[in-house]
Amino acid sequence: MNATESGNDRPESVTDGFHLVVDALKLNDIDVIYGVVGIPVTDLARLAQASGIRYIGFRHESAAGHAAAAAGFLTGRPGVCLTVSGPGFLNGMVALANATVNCFPMVHIAGSSDRALVDLQRGDYEELDQLAAARPFAKAAYRIDRIEDIGRGIARAIRTAVSGRPGGVYLDIPAHVLSQSMGAAAGAATVWRVVDPAPRQSPSDAAVSAALRLLGAAERPLIVLGKGAAYARAEHQIRDFVEQTGIPYLPMAMAKGLLPDDHPQCLAAARSLALSRADVVLLVGARLNWLLGHGASPQWSASAQFIQIDVDAAEFDSNQPTAVPLAGDICSTVEALSAGLHEVPVHCPTGWREELDARRTRNAAALEHRLAEDPRPMRFYSALRAVRAVVRRHPEVYLVNEGANTLDITRNVIEMQLPRHRLDCGTWGVMGVGLGYAIAAAVQSGRPVIAIEGDSAFGFSGMEMETICRYRLPVVVVVFNNGGVYRGDEVASTGTDPAPTVLSPGAHHERIIEAFGGTGHHVRTPDELTAALTAALADPGPVLIDCELDTSAGTESGHLTNLNPRVTVPVRTTTA
């Protein structure tokens, strides 16, 4: 551009789309980008890094997207994922959809092809109508078509991602927009900082009073805490209300640690009884989806009444009648409930607490008995006994967990003491999130992370071990290796190929990290696992522990056997 300033002959300074994207992100406190570079976004990553934004480069876009989503959950600001066009964009779509279902704020930025070519389907490089593809799977999808709209588009994406119910937002930036230029002063005027993107919302006084009256009349009240409560950073407000009322609470997996799992009102060890007997239930950051049996019998009492806190009023009555809808953000709503106790006192009946305490004590004793078993080869419980002992000594550690049996059993065994220190597959049940989540936890917190992975789940993103090693992140990956999907001892009914659920029994996953300069261990006993984990946390760095389990350990589909249809007639085979 050769425009001159008024009154002199000096050329006006110019900027381009790349710089404006980075300027807008920095102005909105985006300090990390997770992504995979390539056409047309490579220079965008370079420029972001040069400007002070940390760029974490992955081996696959799906893992990068999962990292961005986890960063959103951990920080309350949208995590940013950067991908190339076409197939790279599609690889990131699983993470974008998962972020939306899980209510994690995330912005997926992708470069794209020339619209004039795409719209006439002329066969451009990686041609794809990415905006149309993203819309069904994201909270919102936007495209920036002019350089002067870059600041507006990023501001809109950030506000949409975090306002109301958080979720994933797709932002499409065609290559030609990134390379467009304009005057630097005019460009600077097009970017701005989003003010209060998630404003607090309080429920009505009438709704608060109605909720307290219903809780106060309950014979068997229960509070269910979901990951939305953890995201809301409502631990202090929730503790105050829980302890004032004496109502027992059940934490969902990612809400563990909002209050310490050893809190006397925690019912993690008496879940089934609490759900089946409760007559009035306060849902805090939890939804009556499949994880809670849709609020229906037989998991719940047919007469249970539900009080629900949700920032999105459309969620009320989604599965069961909402007796009292509390429309507002969690912090404001729980504060209002606590304040209302002065006028409408609520106290949990002693008999209900005693009934639950007895079941919790019985179940805890049964778990300890199971953990004390010492089979050879190891099985899930004996391995997790070793992990639990180490985590108890290091409550500051972040725990990431995925798999089938690995996920289900770890949820029951490993206690959490601090909020937002546990991440797993969440609402959608997606596998492959583990290493992306672990990388985000390490990057955002700077603290050690233990990722407990089933060997099948690990396979979805195992090459991200190279990412962990390249950035020297304090991540310890523990692979529970039973040689199969669910288990590794199934025998194929015919032929020489392995059965569909069998992987590679006896595999040495630790050799993967050794190829990239990290430390690997192969352990066969709980004592060896304890020693390896203890050493890894004493000198945090990239470590992979392959934990050899009995190939017969595990059950089909973990705790979700009822969701897995089975063949009920003989399998027919054909012969030549």
Q: Is the pLDDT of residue 429 over 60?
A: yes
φ, ψ of residue 36 to 5 degrees: the values are: -135, 125
**Residue position matching structure tokens 């692979």:** 479
Query: Which DSSP state fits 571?
Result: P
Name the token pair of 92. 């990131």
Q: Is the pLDDT of residue 1 over 70?
A: no
pLDDT for the residue numbered 298: 93
14-188: CATH topology is Rossmann fold (3.40.50)
pLDDT for the residue numbered 115: 87
What are 10-13's contacts with CB under 8 Å, separation 24+? 12/183, 12/184, 12/185, 13/183, 13/184, 13/185
Strand arrangement of the beta sheet that strand 140-143 belongs to: 54-57, 32-35, 79-83, 106-112, 168-174, 140-143
* pLDDT > 90: percent of the chain: 90
Query: Which DSSP state fits 448?
Result: -
**Mean pLDDT score across all residues of the chain:** 95
Domains 14-188 and 373-488+501-562 share a fold: yes
Name the token pair of 126. 């990686």
**Residue position matching structure tokens 């551009």:** 1
Strands annotated E in 71-131: 79-83, 106-112
**Which of helix, strand or coil describes residue 81?**
strand
Q: Is the pLDDT of residue 148 over 70?
A: yes
Whether residue 377 is preceded by a cis peptide bond, meaning omega within 30 degrees of 0, is yes
pLDDT for the residue numbered 6: 46
Nearest residue to 73 (alpha-carbon basis) of 426, 415, 455: 426
Exposure b/e, 288-314, CB count within 10 A at least 16 = b: bbeebeebeeeebeeebbbbbbbbeee
- CA 281 – CA 240 distance, rounded (Å): 18
Q: Is the pLDDT of residue 557 over 90?
A: no
Name the token pair of 98. 């998962």
- Residues 256-301 have pLDDT tens digits of 999 999 999 999 999 999 999 999 999 999 999 999 999 999 999 9
- CA 572 – CA 330 distance, rounded (Å): 55
Nearest residue to 119 (alpha-carbon basis) of 132, 134, 133, 129: 129
Inter-CA distances, 167 with 30, 135, 455, 457, 473, Å: 17, 12, 29, 24, 27
Name the token pair of 555. 């059950």
- CA 308 – CA 310 distance, rounded (Å): 6
| Cross-strand bridge partners of residue 449 | 398, 475
- CA 38 – CA 49 distance, rounded (Å): 15
pLDDT for the residue numbered 494: 86
**Which of helix, strand or coil describes residue 514?**
helix
Count of CB atoms situated within 10 Å of the CB of 121: 9
- CA 524 – CA 382 distance, rounded (Å): 11
Class of domain 205-357: alpha beta
Q: Which pLDDT band, with edges at 50, 70 and 90, does 4 fall under?
A: very low
Cβ-Cβ contacts under 8 Å for 50 (sequence gap 6 or more): none
**Which of helix, strand or coil describes residue 133?**
helix
Alpha helices (runs of H) in 394-433, residue ranges in sequence order: 405-413
Residue 284: in which H helix or E strand, if any? strand 280-284
Q: Is the pLDDT of residue 210 over 50?
A: yes
21: region left, alpha or beta (phi > 0 left; psi from -120 to 50 alpha) = alpha
Inter-CA distances, 128 with 62, 193, 398, Å: 18, 31, 38
Nearest residue to 177 (alpha-carbon basis) of 141, 152, 140, 204: 152
pLDDT for the residue numbered 570: 65
pTM of the model: 0.95
Inter-CA distances, 155 with 67, 183, 191, 305, 547, Å: 21, 20, 8, 40, 46
| CB 395, CB 535: distance < 8 Å | no
Q: Is the pLDDT of residue 572 over 70?
A: no
- Residues 153-196 have pLDDT tens digits of 999 999 999 999 999 999 999 999 999 999 999 999 999 999 99
**Which of helix, strand or coil describes residue 266?**
strand
Inter-CA distances, 351 with 224, 247, 266, Å: 19, 12, 16
pLDDT for the residue numbered 560: 82
**Burial of residue 77, with CB atoms counted within 10 A of its CB: 0-12 exposed, 13-18 middle, 19 or more buried:** buried
pLDDT for the residue numbered 574: 52
Cβ-Cβ contacts under 8 Å for 444 (sequence gap 6 or more): 32, 71, 74, 75
Instruction: Report how many helices (DSSP H) and strands (DSSP E) the chain contains, helices first.
Output: 22, 19
Q: Is the pLDDT of residue 3 over 60?
A: no
**Residue position matching structure tokens 């696959």:** 60
Name the token pair of 120. 């006439």
Nearest residue to 212 (alpha-carbon basis) of 344, 321, 304: 344
**Residue position matching structure tokens 């009505």:** 204
CATH of span 373-488+501-562: 3.40.50.970
| CB 190, CB 150: distance < 8 Å | yes
5: region left, alpha or beta (phi > 0 left; psi from -120 to 50 alpha) = beta
End-to-end CA distance of the chain: 74
Domain definitions of the chain by residue range: 14-188, 205-357, 373-488+501-562
Strands annotated E in 50-167: 54-57, 79-83, 106-112, 140-143
Q: Which pLDDT band, with edges at 50, 70 and 90, does 49 fall under?
A: very high
